[in-house]
A and B are shown apart, each in its own frame.
Chain A
Amino acid sequence: MDYLSTTSSVSRHYRTLVIFCILTFCGSVLLSAEPRLSIKCNDQTIELTREQLQQMDAIQIETSREKKGLTITENWTGIQVAQLTQLLGRPDFLSVILRSDDNYQVRLSREELEQSSAVIAWAKDGKTLNDGATRLIVPNMRAMYWIFNPSRIIFETEKSAIKPTALILLNSLEASLTYQEKLTPFEKDSGYRFKDIALTAFPDVRGNFRLIAQDGITHVLDYQTYLENAIVAENGDSLNLKSPDMPAGMWIKNLVYIQKDDLCIVNSGICKDMTEVLNLLSIDPETVSIKADNENKTVLDYNKNFADPQWSQSRKVFLWYKE
């Protein structure tokens, strides 16, 4: 009996200790979970709490959106994203990436940022957003850019993409790729793993890829963060990119163009000729000549459909830009 009561007492103390440890751990997690905004440019990073953000010079902007046939006008209070560069000594940035905790990412060029007067807002129509939330508001741009709780802002000072100087058609790579019926974790999708395409075509897959959808929306995404586990699912001639490392809102429907460094891969099932590719890239066809070899000899007609033998005769074509 004594033995039993001693065991029970030890077990009770042990339980109390475990509960105490759990509560202490949860408390410390909750305290450290105060939302912070990290702002980075090159090697410099600063972190701001929401309170520190609110102490900066706030502005008010008005936005109008069409929703279900109604025009919704909203007033937002927040800090201009461009103003945050003051904290980093006003770097001469070219673009900015804004990312939320769930890895949702948008990228704005400096021009887009300055023209739109994008803000990180903490109040709408005079009322603080729920649960201490913040929201990126980019007037005149689609709501897909208006991300909730941006937690990381990166000002980029280097060009994220150069003009492509070599092009291959995706169907010419297919012999080297393994078509998969079930692309786990997307069991219902069949097609290719992005990793297989990337490792087949590009010498160094680390870093940013430029991906363009048929509607012209461009994504610049880091391979290790977003694309290493991504799939390229076939749906007729269309390709859809999905990744378990991306929120579904970032998945790319009708992917037509993949670029890393100088080399691009084009889905000729959707992009029918070079003019369409150059349109996607906002490149004037008159400023580029397409050649079938690297010795600058055979000039190809960029108006000819990708089904024309001139394209299938060379595995890779070269783009030479006129000065």
Chain B
Amino acid sequence: MKKVLLMALFGLVAAAPAYALDGTEILARVDRHLEPPSYESYRKLINIEPNGSEKDYVLFTAKKGRDKILAVFLSPASEKGRSTLRLGDNMWLYVPEVGKPIRVNSLQSVVGGIFNNADILRLDYSVEYHVASVIETPDNQYLLSLKAVNGAVAYDQLKMWVNKTKFLPTKIECYTATGLLIKTLHFSDIKDFGDGIVRPAMVTTDSPLYKGYKSVMLYAGVKARTFRDEVFTLDFMPRADTLLPH
């Protein structure tokens, strides 16, 4: 009897890493399907209020590796020239009028509304989360339960629904450590950006904390591009717009 129990226990222990590895592999594939390892993109962020009024922002984004990302505002005029930089857990905001980068954190929002800095300067999911569990849903999706690797990550837990054939997320729910739902991201409008980059061009966000409000993020011009590491430094932030193609 003891032998049987030991074998069963061994079987469970041996099976667990294999299951976790599958989840990790799924998450890594999601990261690479969403973006190349080093790329540029344009994004439009639209905040929609319950009365239908809108305000939008356009950003040019440069990302390199798993933890370096820089974004510069191109529009509206009131925000033009602002840039935000993320190096791992470090985040800074440069405002031309203020004249120097200041530290900001992932829960603040440089644009207001539902998108916060962590959404705008998102690192690879596999950098910030490990897979706690994965199940297959009846509608042919993986449901990954993700847990933040440390307390510096904006959302403690994520539930990510992933299309099984395309390895692209369809929906992500973001939770606090206490299990409070903060926001939900809906991915749609899968578009071929060329060079093998096929990803959702639209992310819609809603939040029970902002009832009736929505924020939309549109992607365009996503393409692989290499950058020097020095692009991702405080000194470069005032000159971030020189990265724009002309």
- Do these two chains interact? no
